[in-house]
Every structure is written in structure tokens, then in C-alpha cells.
Amino acid sequence: MSLPSVTDWEAVPNFPSLAEEARYWESHQIAPRLMQTSLVSTDTNESTTITLRMDPRMLSRLKRLARQRYLNYQSMLKQWVAERLEKELD
């Protein structure tokens, strides 16, 4: 028996509980094409350079924190912005 394939992330409902989400995924699968697009990293040509002015002390603290996490401070900042966008859009 073949499970119905999810071909668009928008088709996945919001689940009120982990149990309901588990039941959903027991009866559905992710289409291979959708899975592939989720795994491919973004091309660097798709990014846009911006200028962000910030207090030098804040930048120093940001760089220090990033070093402690073995990250590039710009990458860490992009990760923070992405996480906050997701939170705000929910």
C-alpha cells in the first residue's frame, strides 16, 4: 500500500499535539522531490549583501560569542534572524 505523498509544505497542517503529528506521518510520506529541495543548501549567488550598523561593543560581544560556539559571527547572526522570523511568523 502506497502512502499519500506530501508535495508542498503548505499542505501539512498545524498539529495541536505531537501525538496527532505522529499519527499524520504514519499515514503520509514526503514526496522525494520535496525532500530533495529541503536538503539542498542555498546557493551563495542567492544571497544579498547588506550593511548593518552596530555599536562596536555589541559587535565585539557578538564575535566573542560566535567564537565560543566555533561559528562565523555573520553565520550566527543569520541563524538568529532566521529563527526569529520563524517565531514571528507563527
pLDDT > 90? residue 2: no
Q: What is the pLDDT of residue 69?
A: 86
Q: What is the pTM of this model?
A: 0.48
36: pLDDT confidence band, cut at 50, 70 and 90?
Answer: confident
Give which of 4, 47, 44 is closest to 27, Cα–Cα.
4
DSSP state of 44: G
Q: What is the pLDDT of residue 34?
A: 79
Q: Write the Ramachandran bin of 49: left for phi over 0, alpha for psi from -120 to 50, otherwise beta.
A: beta
24 φ, ψ (degrees, to nearest 5): -60, -50
90: pLDDT confidence band, cut at 50, 70 and 90?
Answer: confident
Pull the grid cell for residue 61: 560581544
pLDDT > 90? residue 60: yes
